[in-house]
């Protein structure tokens, strides 16, 4: 990475702490603040710093690990640990027929790690992407869905070249925006093709939750702003986090339980 030799900048653990704080702000916002208010949008914009940082360091961890199987098994363990807390935070209940496949973000980090390993070990490009398709499908059941896998590939396949990392990460973010505004695009396409008249299109357009789309478009800008933080990475580990290297994986389920408790039992 171009910034590795810099003496100043941000260490890995400083960036991870930023991700943890941003995640907490984001989850508090989802629980207690109206999404489309300025405060809600601001909290979620900050919260969008978390996923790129997490994906970046999964890619870094893949490069440094001596045993990819142990690395993957640790991620699987720490994905299972918050399985119940995540569903409780999202629904206020234990898993049921509708929510049992509601998987937390660590599952998608694990899938991204597996995809990155495939792309680094399989020589045939067609086979690599063919095997990536089922991984992307599995990721669709997880928080952040297949975008998390693609973020990890964008960072991991372009390691040591931050410009390429930023370019491909931004390309995935563009796909994220296309998905958000897909209903608008389909309405325009069907109107141009004559399926809808102008008056019908206007009537349908009036039913769209425009404030929802606008607020999510603004908050997703935080994904691109996270590149500013990642560009400051100096390649150093830095001072250990409180509780050591497993701090995030312990903090993640605990903070979900605490927020969920206040959301469903204290402020119900």
Six-digit token pair at 250?
Answer: 């312990």
* pLDDT tier at 233, thresholds 50, 70, 90: very high
3-class state of residue 98 by DSSP:
coil
**Residue (of 17, 36, 15) closest to 226 by Cα position:** 15
> What CA–CA distance (Å, rounded) separates 230 from 211?
30
**Does the pLDDT value for residue 1 go beyond 60?**
no
**Mean pLDDT estimate for the chain:** 95
Residue with tokens 């049921």: 96
Give CA separation, 201 vs 22, 181, 204, 207, 214, in Å: 39, 16, 5, 10, 19
* pLDDT tier at 241, thresholds 50, 70, 90: confident
Single pTM value for the model? 0.94
Mean pLDDT over residues 30-37, rounded? 97
**Does the pLDDT value for residue 183 go beyond 80?**
yes
More confident residue, 244 or 215: 215
* pLDDT tier at 8, thresholds 50, 70, 90: confident
pLDDT of residue 6: 52
């Amino acid at each position: 990475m171009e910034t590795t030799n810099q003496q100043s900048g941000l260490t890995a653990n400083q960036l991870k702490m930023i991700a943890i704080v941003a995640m907490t702000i984001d989850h508090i916002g989802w629980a207690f603040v109206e999404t489309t208010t300025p405060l809600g949008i601001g909290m979620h914009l900050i919260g969008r710093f978390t996923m790129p940082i997490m994906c970046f360091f999964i890619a870094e961890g893949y490069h440094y690990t001596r045993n990819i199987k142990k690395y993957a098994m640790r991620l699987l363990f720490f994905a299972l640990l918050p399985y119940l807390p995540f569903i409780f935070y999202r629904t206020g209940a234990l898993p049921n027929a509708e929510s049992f496949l509601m998987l937390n973000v660590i599952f998608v980090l694990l899938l991204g790690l597996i995809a990155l390993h495939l792309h680094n070990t399989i020589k045939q490009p067609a086979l690599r992407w063919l095997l990536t398709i089922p991984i992307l499908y599995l990721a669709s059941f997880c928080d952040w869905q297949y975008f998390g896998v693609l973020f990890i590939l964008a960072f991991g396949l372009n390691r040591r070249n931050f410009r390429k990392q930023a370019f491909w990460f931004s390309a995935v973010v563009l796909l994220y925006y296309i998905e958000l505004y897909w209903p608008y695009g389909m309405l325009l396409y069907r109107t141009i093709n004559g399926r809808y008249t102008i008056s019908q299109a206007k009537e349908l357009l009036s039913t769209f939750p425009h404030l929802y789309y606008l607020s999510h478009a603004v908050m997703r800008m935080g994904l691109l702003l996270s590149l500013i933080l990642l560009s400051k990475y100096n390649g150093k580990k830095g001072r250990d986090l409180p509780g050591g290297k497993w701090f995030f994986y312990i903090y993640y389920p605990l903070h979900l339980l605490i927020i969920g408790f206040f959301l469903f039992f204290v402020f119900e």
